[in-house]
Amino acid sequence: MAMSSTSCCSGLLAKRSAAFAPSPIQQLSLLAQRCNAINLAEGFPDFPAPLEVKEAAIAAIQAEFNQYRHVQGVCEKVAEAFENTHGVKVDPKTQVTICCGQSEAMAASVFAVVESGDEVVLLDPAYETYEACVILAGGIPRYVALDPPHWSLDVKKLENAFGPCTKAIIVNSPHNPTGKVFSHYELGAIAALCCKYDCLAITDEVYEHITFEESKHISLASFPGMQQRTIVTSSLSKTFSVTGWRVGWAIAPAVINAAIQNIHVKLTDSAPAPFQEAALVALQSSPSFYVQLQQEYKERRDFVCNMLIQAGFSNFLKPQGSFFVFAQLPDKCPLNDVDYVAELIKEAGVAIVPGCGFFHQKNWTTMPAIQDHPASADKLHMSEQGLDMAAISGSGVYLERFVRVAFCKDMVTLMAADAAIKKHSARLNSPSA
């Protein structure tokens, strides 16, 4: 009997490929497309990018900048902006690599420094790309759980994850999915451990310009002793609403940057040429652009937080940065995150993301009691009745009680989602339901 092509090919797969399988998030994305749902799931804006940046890209295409190309001027603007923002001087010729988005910058950075058996500390919940990069490099992820509801970093718990095999820690601030901005104290503690254990920090700083109120982004590279042991990755994508352009960068010590650059060239050769030209314009934006960016995202954040409160959500950190809200499901909701999202798509026509895809540890500690984490109402929304401790104990159920809502959308989109969710809630609460 002839063997099926599927059976034959599966035996040819590399073992590492078994670590990557379709997630519930991908399946729900397909469901959302079939239902034509309002998209508050994926982290890309549905409003226009800045006109002058788009015009620069169009001009570059018309000028025939359509072949492989390295635009050194982008490196110079990245270095200049980093020094102006963080006070860290960077050599654009030897310490900056332009990549195909932050994702490639992260992958090339991890491939450059992580070897088989090296341990890499990751902070949970975490964006899934980090673990994938570590596994593909042959490294071993070591997860440290952030403590809800503020997603604070327990320094003692963090140090327990460091050891003689630790090669690096990956830090994302402002943080996806929680909206947390790591404090100066937390970043200082990470810096101290990197120096103590002689390891690297690899940072994802793509939301660096999207912060609110008193929360300000600080790069780990700016701490004493850290410039020579930090790889910074970022991109145009989030700041300039051009997630499809794939222009990002890595900033690293010269020896490490040379390795990142060599890997980048072997993987993709160069970032898209016309969009590199547009990056020159984007990276020269005036301070008023960034002020307006924060003001507009603050309006969207506040609208979505209020929408969630009215929908029965009461336990979530009001985002300090990024453009996501990470909210625990209402105590009265009997569904897990995947089922809740599926129902919201089918019944309300609104798509959000189940939180389980961001958690990587099988067991989590119990959610702390409210009194252990005091916060003002402006920072944290908690139910008056407190938390359902039984529902979120360290059994793993806790991992299924969060959803992520993106507010990087036009206000028209957000208002449509609000109306759809209210209509759905009214149906659920009607006597005939």
Q: What is the pLDDT of residue 393?
A: 33
Range of the domain at 207: 51-282
Q: What is the pLDDT of residue 141?
A: 97
What CA–CA distance (Å, rounded) separates 27 from 33? 10
What CA–CA distance (Å, rounded) separates 293 from 295? 6
Question: 289 near 50, Cβ under 8 Å?
Answer: yes
- Half-sphere CA count of 161, side-chain side, radius 13 A: 28
Q: What is the pLDDT of residue 376?
A: 36
Using the 3D structure, point to which of 257, 282, 307 is the last residue of a domain.
282
SS3 224: coil
Contacts (Cβ under 8 Å, ≥6 apart) of 399: 355, 356, 359, 364
SS3 377: coil
In a domain, 11, yes or no: no
Domain identity same for 246 and 320: no
Using the 3D structure, point to which of 252, 282, 312 is the last residue of a domain.
282
pLDDT tens for 24-71 read 777 778 888 899 999 999 899 999 999 999 999 999 999 999 999 999
Domain identity same for 382 and 362: yes
What CA–CA distance (Å, rounded) separates 221 from 231? 8
pTM of the prediction? 0.90
Burial class (CB in 10 A: 0-12, 13-18, 19+), 307: buried
Domain identity same for 413 and 303: yes
**CATH number of the domain residue 124 falls in:** 3.40.640.10
Domain identity same for 240 and 257: yes
In a domain, 217, yes or no: yes
Domain identity same for 310 and 386: yes
Ramachandran quadrant class, 87 (left: phi over 0; alpha: psi -120 to 50; beta: rest): left
Domain identity same for 124 and 258: yes
pLDDT tens for 230-278 read 999 999 999 999 999 999 999 999 999 999 999 999 999 999 999 999 9
Domain identity same for 221 and 359: no
pLDDT tens for 272-317 read 999 999 999 999 999 999 999 999 999 999 999 999 999 999 889 9
